[in-house]
Structure 1
């Protein structure tokens, strides 16, 4: 994915947010969510236990982020979706790292990391960190899907 307006390759964080917010029909079940999280290296390779309530939270987060991006692109504001997404973000525990580049990458979202034990919550917290990175830098994510 290349930002055609700027001619640049988006950050890792922007790529995660783009893929998450445009997942639509490809993210319709708990197994789809586990697959998405593994494919994007947001969780380990072990099976990820996801309850129905946790799946609903993930979809609320996705829909809230998508609503924010659509609003930023001139679309109508879905305040309910944004509020529900915010509630999910409020429930994710995060911590900041003194030295974020432990894995050798320069991903700015690595400064925020999950402070939770559930693999699913870790994955969602990593999506939240990517959201924080694009929001802090002002990087745009186009929703062409």
Structure 2
């Protein structure tokens, strides 16, 4: 199975929020105030962030306690609808700056500062999916994370 490289627009600020809202409503989901607050809190995080830290941020924003399990449910929805990615090795989340563009991604994660860099390489992830199909697996979702030291920390 040959895959192609692709390009997409990286969104930030209001453009990111508008793209996320459009992607979520396009998936027949509602863009509620709570979901908007969680997305905006996640979008302001420079590094992968836990649901507990997001719950704390949203609680401060709303002036009342927000339960982490509510944030987990929203984050699961965001991952399903491609608004966020889960960094499995850190049990943390990072905003997808190009909602609506579906592909498998690769994360480079710094062991020192926690920074995560998102790479797109459809050839590599396509090869992994093909290898899984050749081994008899279906509905494969590659999770590729490489850990090391970023240029600033090495």
Q: TM-score normalised by the shorter chain: which range applies?
A: 0.3 to 0.5
Normalised by the size of structure 1, how large is the TM-score? 0.34
Larger Rg, first or second structure (1 or 2):
2
Higher relative contact order (CA 8 A, sep 6+): 1
The structure with the largest strand share of the pair is 2
> Scaled by the length of structure 2, what TM-score is found?
0.32
